Structure 1
Amino acid sequence: MFDADFWARVPYQLSFLPDRLGGHIFLAFTSILAGVLISIPLGIFCARRPKAERVVVTIANIIQTIPGMALLAIMVFALNRTGVLPAWIALVLYSILPILRNTIAGMKTVDPGCIEAANGIGLNKWQRLRIVELPLASPTIIAGIRTASAWVVGAATLAYPVGATSLGDYIFAGLQTTNPVALLVGCVFSAGLALLLDMLLGGLERASQRRSKAWALGSIGGMVAVALSPLLLKAVQPHPTITPTDHLAEASEFTQEKPYVIGGKPFTEQYILIEHLQDALQEANRQTDVKAGLGSTVVLQSLQRGEIDCYVDYSGTLWANEMQRSDNVSSAEMLIDIATNLKESSGVLALGPLGFSNDYVFAMRKEQAEQLGIKSLEDLATHSGNLTAACEIEFWSRPEWKNVQSEYGLQFGNTKSMDATLMYGALQRGDADVIVGYRTDGRLASDEIVELTDPRFVLPPYDAVLLVSPRLAKDRAATERLRKMVNTISTEQMRNSNGMVDIKKKSVVEAANSLDASTK
């Protein structure tokens, strides 16, 4: 694993570190600070009021039991937006319980004799709190902040699916593209940040115990240094410059207010297409940013709200999810109706199909399919009760699955949800008998896997469609450059590019460069 090629790919991953570490530190530090500002006053209030304590701590406990991804999803739907804000609010909520509990515990453990002495010398309740109670309770309170920081730094990696930049970008992208380098970088730096922050807060805890200003200043200084470290990394990182060529004179004269944000979904093909789009926009001398790993519904809503500016979606997904259509029409008619609907409803411009179709495909091990005589979904229906099916969790809740299930009468004995990267291994090991993959997935080309036909054409076509926001649509030069990508990528070309990453273990950039070369 740790061969020369592995280490050669590390510098490329580190090139993303300033932005991803900066996003992670911003989310963690500001959410912990907000948690402190909420929890300590609330803990002081509840420490002398048992009824209020029971209610508040119960609510905090309930919030803490909600899984991280579920809480993020709740925030996205509650705020009707993606990005930093829903992730930040979720992290603030996660930080409250340990700080709140320790504040209450710290206030309750203050020696009553100290309080009597404070009253005896004439201190009012606010003076007593500031001079006596809080200093005595501070070691316990800071211990709660240490616990909260460990939770928040770890949970911040989950911000990736809602479009907030963090070290989770490394981990999710590494998992989706089977890239151990990205996984390692993400894990090392997220764990290192958690340990470093815990150590610095530990120093602050010791400062409160020893009443040491030197320890306190050293710990605070260390935290400031950590907070500023992404800026230092950004400053020393070389920045490539884009030199406009003569034929892009019109593009170079355009004043771009802010970078165009390229969105994408969480699988290999989308990461490659993001790089492909980024190269095209940079050829037009446009600055770009990336929000990858967004769900099907979230990514379209982000485009409609102007949070991203372009991405590649699939006609079948838009037909079923956005337009709530289940009727079977031709690919051309579907594309026309989709383009019309998006333009009229939100101003989103569909530039056209890229040329390949990434349909859903039911597949089995060839040996097992031949033994059972299964060649189509009709054949599969007669055996489905004894088989285990696996696919990404999204498919089981999509209308396409409901239509297939209703039309063919599929009732699997067991269904599993797993990442697309893992389900091919599950199929080979026999942990799954049927998988639902994508037509352009390079792993489907294996001689050991057979695709099952859809004789009733229940599954709609999934032509890749390039969508742009109203803001980007007004940029003629950039839009025309993107339009040149229409009908340039065949299904075979896309499958080969995906196979470079998923099978040959090449980087996403190498696959995107290969795709660029094959389409010019």
Structure 2
Amino acid sequence: MDGPVASALRVLPEYLGYHVLLSAAALAIGIALSLPLALLASRSALLRWPLLSFVSLVQTIPGLALMALFYPILIGLSLLTTKLTGGGFSALGFLPALLALTLYSMLPIVRNVVAGIANLDPSLGEAADGVGMTGRQRLLRVELPLIAPVMMAGIRTAAVWVIGTATLATPVGQTSLGNYIFSGLQTENWIWVLFGCAVSAALALTVDQLLAVIEGGLAQRRRRRIWSAGVALLLGVLTAAFTVLGPASRTDYVIGAKNFTEQYILADLIGQRLAHTGHAAAVRSGLGSAVVFRALAQNDIDVYVDYSGTIWANAMGRSDHPSRKVMLREIESWLKREHGITMLGALGFENAYALTMRSDRAEELGVHSIADLGRHAPGLSLGSDYEFFARPDWTMLRDGYGLSFAHTREFQSTFMYRALADGDVDVIAAFSSDGRIEADHLTVLEDPQQRIPPYDAILMVSPKRANDEELASALAPLIGAVPVRRMRQANFLVDKPQGAISPAEAARWLGKMIPHSGSE
């Protein structure tokens, strides 16, 4: 069994390699765009204000939001390209992250170049004109050499920003050092969180120091220093490219996963099933519900597990409450008809939202159901994950039971349970298959009106894999084979405070209880 440090080191080449490539590409494109635009703006007041306003405005948009906004835009462009040329491109992962980081890199470069030229002594320009220099000669021989230190300071700032912000690329499907941080936060693997932060900081400091050497070489006109630092940066990028893009990186299937423990375990379980049949699989984890569903529909991923209630309410926009069997049948038909997605079947458990309280607090207030909760809600606080309050589930619960809480708060799910235990909130929207419910002796409130729809875990494959018999055969043993009790145990093996194991190890434990296909 690998310890957290050993497991972190094992995936370091992949995570660091992708992080370096993404950051280097974004910074290179950012410099290529920023320098000519800044030089034009320094000579045109008409262009200067709009350009500076635009690059400043970009900085007000949170990095993760900007990356997520690019994803649906790129999906539209991919569909248009497919119609026009017959071939699209993957909108998940690298492209949305690259575009967002490129925009983030521009502000310090543009601002420093414009400010540097604006603050040059006017007599230098007059002297250049007096000796008959052309505009191009004046720029290359006078202005750029003089503002080189200021320009490099802007590039250094941009590099640090880009490397730091690139850790947010994980939720849009791009592997980066953020994989350590996002998965570590969810599974309370603090060594992974610290490891990801430390490696990202070390990378930023190293790049900053190499750029500082180039800055000093420009100021002192020492070409050897410039070339040595430049070659070191280039070697780093080439090493990263060889690490992640080399011949050993064969991938037959791409598995999607959302950003909580159960999804990490199920993705690893699917990957292990595929590996048993001789197929290599990559996992895109930490994806949001809307992103992962679109990724499957657009063939950016091949397979993932979602929940019937999520598809029913969020994707289909339905608010009625049919029986579980009817809901699954209608979901299967809708997925195939509207998106070409094939539903292989339900895994055998559901993971529904469940309003939950500490048992002592529920007993104190005499609360056993959500109907009871309605009478006490004005004096209580409710905590949830980031998605719950935007879902139709919350609207149906709130309106059906007349829930009016004094305060509502959103948490990363790990901290949501901590907040309940510490008394920071009185009620949480927990997950019915979460092992922490039993481990923490929590009370799940009954839903007498059945306002919360079923959330059966369903296995789905992308349109391009609809007729992939090998994939279907490898995953068929999972259908109906994961009871909720086993899933709770697997989740708790990862989430328990002491002696927790990795999602991959929990998946192996879960997989031992599921027979392999007889055709393998």
Contact kept? 2:481, 2:514, Cα under 8 Å = yes
Which consecutive residues of structure 2, in runs of 5 or more, have no partner in the other structure? 76-90, 516-520
Shift of 1:14: 1.9
Q: Does 2:54 correspond to 1:59? A: yes
Which residue in 1 is equivalent to 2:409? 416
Which residue in 2 is equivalent to 1:209? 219
Contact kept? 1:284, 1:478, Cα under 8 Å = no
For the residues of structure 2 that align with 1:299 and 1:136, how far apart are their CA atoms?
A: 49
Contact kept? 1:367, 1:448, Cα under 8 Å = no
Contact kept? 2:21, 2:241, Cα under 8 Å = no
Letter in 1 for 2:234: V
Which residue in 2 is equivalent to 1:172? 182
Shift of 1:235: 10
Q: Does 2:347 correspond to 1:337? A: no
For residues 463-512 of structure 1, the C-alpha deviation after alignment (integer angstroms, 9 at most, x for no partner) is: 10000112223221221111121011100000000000001421112111
Q: Does 2:8 correspond to 1:13? A: yes
For 1:428-443, list aligned pairs within 5 A.
428-443=421-436
For residues 293-347 of structure 1, the C-alpha deviation after alignment (integer angstroms, 9 at most, x for no partner) is: 1111111110000000000000111111111111111111111111111011111
With over 3 angstroms needed to count, the CA separation of the structure-2 counterparts of 1:235 and 1:402, relative to structure 1, is closer
For residues 171-219 of structure 1, the C-alpha deviation after alignment (integer angstroms, 9 at most, x for no partner) is: 1011111112321221111111100110011111101100110110111
Which residue in 2 is equivalent to 1:181? 191
For the residues of structure 2 that align with 1:98 and 1:65, how far apart are their CA atoms?
A: 14
Which residue in 1 is equivalent to 2:160? 150
Shift of 1:447: 5.2
For the residues of structure 1 that align with 2:425 and 2:214, how far apart are their CA atoms?
A: 52
Q: Does 2:519 correspond to 1:509? A: no
For residues 274-308 of structure 1, the C-alpha deviation after alignment (integer angstroms, 9 at most, x for no partner) is: 10000111112112111111111111110000000
Which residue in 2 is equivalent to 1:400? 393
For 1:372-391, list aligned pairs within 5 A.
372-391=365-384
Q: Does 2:60 correspond to 1:69? A: no
Which residue in 2 is equivalent to 1:33? 28
For the residues of structure 1 that align with 2:183 and 2:455, how far apart are their CA atoms?
A: 23
Shift of 1:406: 1.1
User: What value does the CA root-mean-square deviation take over the aligned residues?
Assistant: 1.9
Match of residue 282, structure 2, among 289, 310, 316: 289
Shift of 1:55: 2.3
Which consecutive residues of structure 1, in runs of 5 or more, have no partner in the other structure? 241-256
Which residue in 2 is equivalent to 1:197? 207
Name the TM-score, length of structure 1 as normaliser: 0.92
Choose 265-274 or 322-331, whichever is displaced more.
322-331
Which residue in 2 is equivalent to 1:96? 106
After TM superposition, the runs of 4+ consecutive aligned structure 1 residues lying more than 6 A away are 234-237
Which residue in 2 is equivalent to 1:479? 472
Match of residue 458, structure 2, among 465, 487, 512: 465
For residues 16-38 of structure 1, the C-alpha deviation after alignment (integer angstroms, 9 at most, x for no partner) is: 22221122112111111111111
Q: Does 2:280 correspond to 1:270? A: no
For the residues of structure 2 that align with 1:52 and 1:498, how far apart are their CA atoms?
A: 56
Which residue in 1 is equivalent to 2:355? 362
For the residues of structure 2 that align with 1:299 and 1:70, how far apart are their CA atoms?
A: 15
Contact kept? 1:27, 1:156, Cα under 8 Å = yes
With over 3 angstroms needed to count, the CA separation of the structure-2 counterparts of 1:16 and 1:408, relative to structure 1, is same
For residues 77-106 of structure 1, the C-alpha deviation after alignment (integer angstroms, 9 at most, x for no partner) is: 332343211111111111111000001122
For residues 224-283 of structure 1, the C-alpha deviation after alignment (integer angstroms, 9 at most, x for no partner) is: 12213335656999x79xxxxxxxxxxxxxxxx952110010000000001000011111
For the residues of structure 2 that align with 1:56 and 1:228, how far apart are their CA atoms?
A: 33
Which residue in 2 is equivalent to 1:245? none
Q: Does 2:414 correspond to 1:445? A: no
1:91 alignment partner, SS class: helix
For the residues of structure 2 that align with 1:232 and 1:287, how far apart are their CA atoms?
A: 19
For the residues of structure 2 that align with 1:107 and 1:305, how far apart are their CA atoms?
A: 47
Name the TM-score, length of structure 2 as normaliser: 0.92
Letter in 2 for 1:109: N
2:294 alignment partner, SS class: helix
For the residues of structure 2 that align with 1:515 and 1:234, how far apart are their CA atoms?
A: 30
1:518 alignment partner, SS class: coil
Aligned residues: 498
Which residue in 2 is equivalent to 1:218? 228
Residue identity (%): 42
Which residue in 2 is equivalent to 1:321? 314
With over 3 angstroms needed to count, the CA separation of the structure-2 counterparts of 1:139 and 1:233, relative to structure 1, is same
For the residues of structure 1 that align with 2:110 and 2:31, how far apart are their CA atoms?
A: 8
With over 3 angstroms needed to count, the CA separation of the structure-2 counterparts of 1:320 and 1:444, relative to structure 1, is same
Which residue in 1 is equivalent to 2:518? none
Choose 426-435 or 51-60, whichever is displaced more.
51-60
Contact kept? 1:286, 1:478, Cα under 8 Å = no
1:127 alignment partner, SS class: helix
2:258 alignment partner, SS class: coil
Which residue in 2 is equivalent to 1:124? 134
Letter in 1 for 2:382: A
For the residues of structure 1 that align with 2:6 and 2:40, how far apart are their CA atoms?
A: 51
1:293 alignment partner, SS class: strand
For the residues of structure 1 that align with 2:245 and 2:26, how far apart are their CA atoms?
A: 25
Contact kept? 2:306, 2:459, Cα under 8 Å = yes
With over 3 angstroms needed to count, the CA separation of the structure-2 counterparts of 1:17 and 1:447, relative to structure 1, is closer
Letter in 1 for 2:104: Y
